[in-house]
Amino acid sequence: MGPQPFLNFFCKLLTEAEIDFALTSGQACVYYGIQQTTKDSDWIIEPNDLVKLVVLLQGLDGHQGYRVSYRAICGAPCSSEYLANGWTTHIQITDSDGAEHHVDLFGAAPRVSQIEKDSEDPNFASRHIVAQMKKTDREKDWPFVFALARQAVSLGDWRGVLHGTDADWLLASWPTVPDELRLELTTLRPLLSMIEAASGKLRRALMIERFVWQAVNRHRYRVFQNAWKEFFRQWRHEAGFDWPSTSGFGEQVGLLQQAAVNYQLPPRPLDELAKRDAVQKARHEAAEIFAADDIELDTIVPPLTWMLP
Amino acid sequence: MTDNNSDDSFPKRDASDPLYDEEYYEFLELAFGPEKAAWARLPRVEREKELAWIHANTNTPDDLDPWPPELGGGVDNP
């Protein structure tokens, strides 16, 4: 089964199981006509439905030639305790043709406070959500952010101006934004106020803002990576360690849950203090690289609750 | 923006698959190259046919990093 038929198959399974979900990231970009080649899939699952998802996956494992397994780098247990706090779970589904499908599961997606779906196809996260998720520290993700921004504004979703990365495009688009939306959008993206002020600093502000997003993301995921590596390092030294075991998915679920308890994988490593720390570090780095002072950064850096909800 | 593809040889596009203005596709060409921009111009049905062919006939590059980019993946695969 190719990647596209697999997505249709898995969407149908989730829908039939009444699991609230949204396909996001690369596959959503494929849906929106921006990307060609990704095969992995990222799914936002309503955390309260994760129990149903685990039951579904256990039922799929061994059914009609399907095999479900955690991947070696498994992320956290597939439970609301972890995924609602920013962790991801990484599984592999092997279909009856032997094709392997990598499936990454989110509960609370990075930079996203609430699932929002495409109005035309509710299987997919909205452009606004996908753009927000794509604000990673990988340079290659940013053209997707901007492409989604342009699409959104073309379709009358003015929140696209929250994601535009080109000064000329922002200058041309901002006058079309209804007056009543401007204050809310500017609160989320302070640099938009520079457009009306005609400060002549918009291009510089866009560079600093992107740097801050990237730095915040780096500091955010390091918290998770460090916690996971510490956990896995200890688990690997356990006598008889075998992961991912060749036993069924159901047994793997129990093994990972027990290991998370035994080796104290923290459910919520990115607490409020860690969030503030990530933003503070990003501001310090921006101040050093761009010679920006606090007053200037205050006119550029988005609110913490927007970057790390 | 127009709702329908002007070329009658392609299936009609619906609201879930709009055609964007020319500047948008010029941006895609600059950002991703002419091949991907040409693919993006196709109606969804044609895009999916192309994808099926690409996946069936090429060793499709992918994010092979074990972590998704949202958790730091891609550092070794920029």
Q: What is the mean pLDDT of residues A289-296?
A: 97
Smallest Cα–Cα separation from A255: which of A90, A54, A70? Answer: A70
Interface contact A34-B28, CB threshold 8 A? yes
Q: What is the mean pLDDT of residues A18-33?
A: 95
Q: What does the pLDDT read at residue A266? A: 97
Q: What does the pLDDT read at residue A37? A: 75
pLDDT > 70? residue A16: yes
Q: What does the pLDDT read at residue A291? A: 98
Interface contact A40-B62, CB threshold 8 A? yes
Q: What does the pLDDT read at residue B4? A: 44
The model's pLDDT over A84-100, given as tens digits with 9 standing for 90+, comes to 999 999 999 999 999 99
Give the nearest chain A residue to B53 (CA atoms): A2
Smallest Cα–Cα separation from A3: which of A32, A33, A25, A30? Answer: A30
- CB of B59 within 8 Å of a chain A CB? The answer is no
Any idea which of A44-53, A279-288, B27-36 has the lowest mean pLDDT? B27-36
User: Chain A partners of B1 at a C-beta cutoff of 8 Å?
Assistant: 154-155
Q: How far apart are the first and last CA of chain A?
A: 37
Look over chain A and give the mean of its residue pLDDT values, rounded to a whole number. 95
Closest partner residue to A37 (CB to CB) among B54, B69, B70 is B54
- CB of B7 within 8 Å of a chain A CB? The answer is no
The nearest CA of chain B is from the CA of A34 a distance in Å of 6
Q: What does the pLDDT read at residue B78? A: 40
Closest partner residue to B1 (CB to CB) among A2, A33, A154 is A154
What confidence category does residue B77 fall into, taking pLDDT thresholds of 50, 70 and 90?
very low
Q: What does the pLDDT read at residue B61? A: 54
What confidence category does residue B73 fall into, taking pLDDT thresholds of 50, 70 and 90?
low
Between chain A and chain B, how many beta carbons pairs sit less than 8 Å apart? 108
Residue B8 CB coordination number (10 Å): 8
What confidence category does residue A250 fall into, taking pLDDT thresholds of 50, 70 and 90?
very high
The model's pLDDT over A121-178, given as tens digits with 9 standing for 90+, comes to 999 999 999 999 999 998 989 999 999 999 999 999 999 999 999 999 999 999 999 9
pLDDT > 90? residue A273: yes
Interface contact B78-A139, CB threshold 8 A? yes
Any idea which of A101-115, A206-220, A270-284, B6-20 has the lowest mean pLDDT? B6-20
Residue A111 one-letter amino acid = R
The conformational region for residue A149 under phi > 0 = left, psi -120 to 50 = alpha, else beta, is alpha
Give the nearest chain B residue to A220 (CA atoms): B71
Q: What does the pLDDT read at residue B13? A: 80
User: Chain A partners of B14 at a C-beta cutoff of 8 Å?
Assistant: 120
Smallest Cα–Cα separation from A21: which of A62, A56, A49, A2? Answer: A49
Q: What does the pLDDT read at residue B6? A: 47
- Of all residues in chain A, the percent with pLDDT exceeding 70 is 100
Closest partner residue to A2 (CB to CB) among B44, B55, B78 is B55
The model's pLDDT over A233-244, given as tens digits with 9 standing for 90+, comes to 999 999 999 999
Q: What is the mean pLDDT of residues A211-217?
A: 96
The nearest CA of chain A is from the CA of B12 a distance in Å of 16
User: Chain A partners of B40 at a C-beta cutoff of 8 Å?
Assistant: 33-34
What confidence category does residue B74 fall into, taking pLDDT thresholds of 50, 70 and 90?
low
Q: What is the mean pLDDT of residues A273-289?
A: 98
What confidence category does residue A217 fall into, taking pLDDT thresholds of 50, 70 and 90?
very high
pLDDT > 60? residue A267: yes
Q: What does the pLDDT read at residue B43? A: 94
Top-confidence residue, A84 or B75: A84
pLDDT > 70? residue B3: no
Interface contact A36-B39, CB threshold 8 A? yes
Q: What does the pLDDT read at residue B66? A: 57
Q: What does the pLDDT read at residue B10? A: 61
Residue with token string 């640099």: A191
What confidence category does residue A265 fall into, taking pLDDT thresholds of 50, 70 and 90?
very high
Residue B62 CB coordination number (10 Å): 14
B23 with B54: CB under 8 angstroms? no
* Residues B48, B50: Cα–Cα separation, whole Å: 5
* Neighbouring-strand partners of residue A105: A43, A89
- The encoded tokens of residue A32 equal 């929106």
What confidence category does residue B1 fall into, taking pLDDT thresholds of 50, 70 and 90?
very low
Q: What is the DSSP letter of A303?
A: P
